[in-house]
């Protein structure tokens, strides 16, 4: 690591209670997610634009604002920001970009969160890590657990793409495939973790996956010449990446890197599972669970996100918005992205293409604004979905 961590403690994202970071933790006693908090004044003394010039281009370059553990790394982070000029021109947008998280280890942004979560879990003495998954998180957990010499238990819906199921087994994980949704898998882990001795690394149920994901925000600042883009579109299932980037922006402001202005954050969901969109449209602070959630974008099939109140708060605070696209729209947009820019995206990433086209047509974004679409994973893991799309 480039410099020592400045981690102080954990703090509840809702009630503000402080909790020790010296031992394994899950949720706050009030039931809400915990945030890692740092001595940002001390961090800023060594984490600055000058020092970053000398550091390896991985997410661990931001060591001062990550937990102080020995990294379990497979080369994650610092994925490219690719100009999407032809795609943008078709919408009248001059500065459209794709942040391509498919180039992370295990083919998705989930590598970021799991790299940090597994590293800290090993540091704090965990032996068996368990999580429910819609696909990519399971593959990432299995890979990093293997690299750390730990055991993992991956619980996934039975209809999870075969590529995700196969990679988990290849990494040596115990795979449990259940009928139902990720929420059913979450209950399975919750009911068994104490008895089995598992450490639950479910989305937002431990504090450090969000720390890995927040590095996407730090990277954008560097990649845009020490400033931030105007608009960010993020495919939102559990929403950890959106939450993490907003946390990063707050840390960056406290360290004096940026001012109070923020990119307008856009949560993009699937029409068949859009709890955040529905809550946004109803001007609610929390989201109601979606019944009978269905979408080919397995990462967006999260009917009841634990961080709903955080996502909705961040959309309001950044003057953002939330919108849903159909499976047909996202798959058509994925074909368009691939043909125009050579980026073979996961359906979740392709959803942002369909969403920006709607926002551009509505005038919600302006032609000269800098806009980043997040492709959160590789299309190569979604053979079943793309096979159907290419036959239509």
Q: Which two tokens stand for residue 289?
A: 């669970």
Domains of the chain as residue ranges with CATH? 81-107+208-391 (3.40.50.1100)
Residue 1 confidence (pLDDT): 45
CB 377 within 8 A of CB 155: no
- Assess contact for 21 and 9: CB atoms under 8 A: yes
Residue-level pLDDT, tens digit, the chain, 392 residues: 457 999 999 999 999 999 999 999 999 999 999 999 999 999 999 999 999 999 999 999 999 999 999 999 999 999 999 999 999 999 999 999 999 999 999 999 999 999 999 999 999 999 999 999 988 999 999 999 999 999 999 999 998 888 999 999 999 999 999 998 888 999 999 999 999 999 999 999 999 999 999 999 999 999 999 999 999 999 999 999 999 999 999 999 999 999 999 999 999 999 999 999 999 999 999 999 999 999 999 899 999 999 999 999 999 999 999 999 999 999 999 999 999 999 999 999 999 999 999 999 999 999 999 999 999 999 999 988 888 777 76
Helices 383-391 & 327-341 angle (0-180, nearest 10): 90
Q: Please check whether residue 223 is in contact with residue 216, taking contact to mean a CB–CB distance below 8 angstroms.
A: no
Q: Which runs of E-coded beta strand occur in 118-184?
A: 128-132, 151-157, 174-178
pLDDT at residue number 135? 84
Residue 175: count other Cβ atoms within 10 Å of its Cβ. 20
Which H/E stretch holds residue 149? none
- Residue 355 has which token pair? 């969403």
pLDDT of residue 392: 66
**DSSP letter assigned to residue 378:** B
Residue 144 to residue 97: CA distance in whole angstroms: 29
Given a contact cutoff of 8 angstroms between Cβ atoms, the answer to whether 143 and 106 are in contact is yes
Question: What was the pLDDT predicted at 387?
Answer: 82
303 vs 379: CA distance, rounded Å:
23
pLDDT, residue 282, reads 98
């Amino acid at each position: 690591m480039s410099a020592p961590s400045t981690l102080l403690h954990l703090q509840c994202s809702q009630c503000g209670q402080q909790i020790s970071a010296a031992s394994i933790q899950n949720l706050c006693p009030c039931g809400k997610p915990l945030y890692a908090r740092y001595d940002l004044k001390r961090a800023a003394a060594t984490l600055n634009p000058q020092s970053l010039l000398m550091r390896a281009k991985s997410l661990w370059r931001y060591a001062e604002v990550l937990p102080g553990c020995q990294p379990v790394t497979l080369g994650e982070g610092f994925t490219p920001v690719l100009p999407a000029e032809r795609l943008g021109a078709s919408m009248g947008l001059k500065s459209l970009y794709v942040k391509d998280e498919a180039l992370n280890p295990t083919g998705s942004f989930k590598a970021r969160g799991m790299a940090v979560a597994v590293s800290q879990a090993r540091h704090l003495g965990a032996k068996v890590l368990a999580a429910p998954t819609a696909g990519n998180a399971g593959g990432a957990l299995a890979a990093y657990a293997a690299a750390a010499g730990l055991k993992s238990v991956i619980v996934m819906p039975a209809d999870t793409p075969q590529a995700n199921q196969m990679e988990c087994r290849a990494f040596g994980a115990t795979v449990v495939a259940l009928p139902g949704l990720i929420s059913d898998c979450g209950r399975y882990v919750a009911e068994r973790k104490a008895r089995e001795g598992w450490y639950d690394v479910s989305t937002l149920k431990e504090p450090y996956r969000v720390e890995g994901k927040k590095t996407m925000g730090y990277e954008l600042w560097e990649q845009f010449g020490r400033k931030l883009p105007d608009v960010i579109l993020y495919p939102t299932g559990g929403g950890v990446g959106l939450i993490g980037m907003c946390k990063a922006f707050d840390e960056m402001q406290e360290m004096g890197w940026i001012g109070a202005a923020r990119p307008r954050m856009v949560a993009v969901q699937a029409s068949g599972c859009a709890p955040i969109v529905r809550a946004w449209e109803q001007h609610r602070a929390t989201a109601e669970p979606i019944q009978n959630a269905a979408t080919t974008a397995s990462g967006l099939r999260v009917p009841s996100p634990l961080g709903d109140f955080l996502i909705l708060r961040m959309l309001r605070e950044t003057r953002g918005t939330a919108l849903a696209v159909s499976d047909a729209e996202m798959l058509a947009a994925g074909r368009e992205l691939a043909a125009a820019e050579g980026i073979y995206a996961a359906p979740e990433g392709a959803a942002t293409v369909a969403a920006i086209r709607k926002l551009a047509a509505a005038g919600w974004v302006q032609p000269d604004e800098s806009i980043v679409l997040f492709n959160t994973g590789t299309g190569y893991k979604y053979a079943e979905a793309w096979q159907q799309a290419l036959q239509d």
